[in-house]
């Protein structure tokens, strides 16, 4: 089910956010991924799953422009992607908060790099901190925060400059089950309010089905696109109730079978 966007335009009518065409990545004689072809629709929530080492993170790196293809092409909104893509935000499970900077100072960091005016930086940082529910913790340091709060700081830091795409590489992999479900709820809320494209990598099938408009299954190395499944469960979704939906179990079986065939 595709999410509706502004002016009653659906994502299927828009230029793809990314088009990967016959892309492959090689490190020396080692073929890491491909050839693979995939279109990422604007403003969708796309989840990528697959065995370890199949190229899930490689696809994110191609979208970020930090990695180049050996063959094939990568287009961002119809234009060839060459060099670093400044229109994306990249969030991982690793804590990249600077320990000597407060929450507010960490969130301000990308805006300072972009040389935004000080007054605008202050407003955007405050809005992003509020959006992830950290108001009141602006002056706290990373060592004073829980794992979930640190993830919120990283999300706020990305929200502050409002990228067109959020690339998320197993951002909740180190969190316990209860906190992870809470972050799922928050992430879906943010996706719906930002109208951005989310590309999310995970090994967790429950997480994939809960979050996704579509789930891409990659084969074992060298990774190729093995299966794409549309998750036709209405939004908004409750992170607990969704698991009792009969369609949830059917999607889980389909995805598990595809993964197990490797």
**pLDDT tens-place string over residues 200-248:** 999 999 999 999 999 999 998 888 999 999 999 999 999 999 999 999 9
Give yes or no: residues 182 and 259 share one domain: yes
Max CA distance (Å), the chain: 55
16 falls within a domain: no
| Residues 248, 196 share a domain | yes
Of the candidates 18, 77, 54, 30, the residue with the CA atom closest to the CA atom of residue 199: 18
Distance of alpha carbon 167 from alpha carbon 93, whole angstroms:
12
- What is the helix, strand, coil percentage profile of the chain, to 5? 40, 25, 40
Average pLDDT for 80-99: 89
Alpha-carbon distance of 110 to 80, in angstroms, equals 24
Is there a single domain that holds both residue 241 and residue 179? Answer: yes
pLDDT at 5: 41
Residues facing residue 4 across a β-bridge: 10
Split at pLDDT 50, 70, 90, the class of 3 is very low
- In the predicted structure, residue 2 carries a pLDDT above the cut 70: no
Q: How far apart are CA 87 and CA 70, in angstroms?
A: 23
> In the prediction, which pLDDT does 132 show?
87
Phi, psi of 78 (to 5 degrees): 90, -10
Residue 1 has pLDDT above 80, yes or no: no
The torsion region of residue 115 among left (phi > 0), alpha (psi -120 to 50) and beta comes to left
pLDDT in tens, 11-20: 445 789 999 9
Q: Is 138 a member of any domain?
A: yes
Q: CA 110 to CA 162: how far, in whole Å?
A: 11
Q: What is the mean pLDDT of the chain?
A: 89
pLDDT of 99? 94
Domain count, the chain: 2
Say what the pLDDT of residue 34 is.
84
The answer to the question of residue 157 being in a domain is yes
User: Residue 31 falls within a domain, yes or no?
Assistant: no
Residue 6 to residue 232: CA distance in whole angstroms: 21
Look at residue 77 and give its three-state secondary structure.
coil
Taking the C-alpha atoms of residue 129 and residue 152, their distance in angstroms, rounded to an integer, is 8
Asked if the structure places residue 34 within a domain, the reply is no
Q: Is the predicted pLDDT of residue 102 greater than 90, yes or no? A: yes
Q: For 19-51, what is each residue's pLDDT tens digit?
A: 999 999 988 778 888 899 999 999 999 999 999
Structural domain ending residue among the three candidates 162, 195, 216: 162
Domain that holds residue 112: 94-162
Share of the chain above pLDDT 90, in %: 65
Give the pLDDT confidence of 157-203 residue by residue, as tens digits. Answer: 998 988 999 999 998 887 888 888 888 998 998 899 888 999 999 99
Q: Is residue 142 predicted with pLDDT exceeding 90?
A: yes
**Within this chain, do residues 257 and 169 fall inside the same structural domain, yes or no?**
yes
147 versus 108: which is more confidently predicted?
Answer: 108
Q: Are 223 and 205 in contact (CB under 8 A)?
A: no
Q: Does residue 138 carry a pLDDT above 50?
A: yes
Question: pLDDT digit string (tens) for 44-68?
Answer: 999 999 998 888 999 999 999 999 8
pTM for the whole structure: 0.88
CATH number at residue 221: 3.40.50.300
Residues 106 and 124 in one domain: yes
Between CA 209 and CA 45 the distance in angstroms is 11
Burial class of 5 by CB neighbour count within 10 A (0 to 12, 13 to 18, 19+): middle
37's enclosing H/E stretch is: strand 30-40
């Amino acid at each position: 089910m595709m999410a509706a966007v502004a002016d009653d335009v659906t994502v299927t009518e828009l230029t793809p956010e990314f088009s990967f065409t016959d892309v492959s990545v090689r490190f020396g004689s080692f073929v890491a991924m491909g050839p693979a072809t995939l279109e990422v629709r604007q403003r969708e929530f796309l989840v990528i799953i697959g065995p370890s080492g199949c190229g899930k993170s490689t696809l994110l790196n191609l979208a970020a422009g930090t990695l180049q293809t050996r063959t094939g092409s990568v287009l961002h909104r119809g234009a060839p992607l060459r060099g670093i893509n400044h229109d994306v935000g990249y969030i991982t499970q690793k804590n990249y908060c600077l320990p000597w900077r407060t929450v507010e100072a960490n969130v301000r960091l990308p805006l300072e790099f972009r040389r935004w005016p000080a007054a605008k930086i202050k407003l955007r940082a405050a809005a992003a901190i509020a959006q992830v529910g950290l108001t009141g913790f602006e002056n706290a340091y990373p060592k004073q925060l829980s794992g979930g709060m640190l993830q919120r700081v990283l999300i706020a830091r990305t929200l502050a400059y409002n990228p067109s795409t959020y690339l998320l590489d197993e951002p909740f992999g180190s969190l316990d089950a209860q906190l992870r479900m809470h972050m799922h709820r928050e992430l879906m809320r943010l996706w719906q309010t930002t109208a951005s494209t989310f590309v999310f990598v995970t090994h967790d099938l429950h997480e994939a089905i809960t979050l996704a408009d579509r789930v891409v299954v990659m084969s074992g190395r060298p990774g190729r696109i093995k299966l794409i499944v549309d998750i036709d469960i209405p939004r908004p979704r409750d992170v607990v109730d969704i698991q009792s939906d009969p369609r949830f179990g059917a999607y889980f079986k389909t995805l598990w079978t595809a993964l197990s065939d490797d």
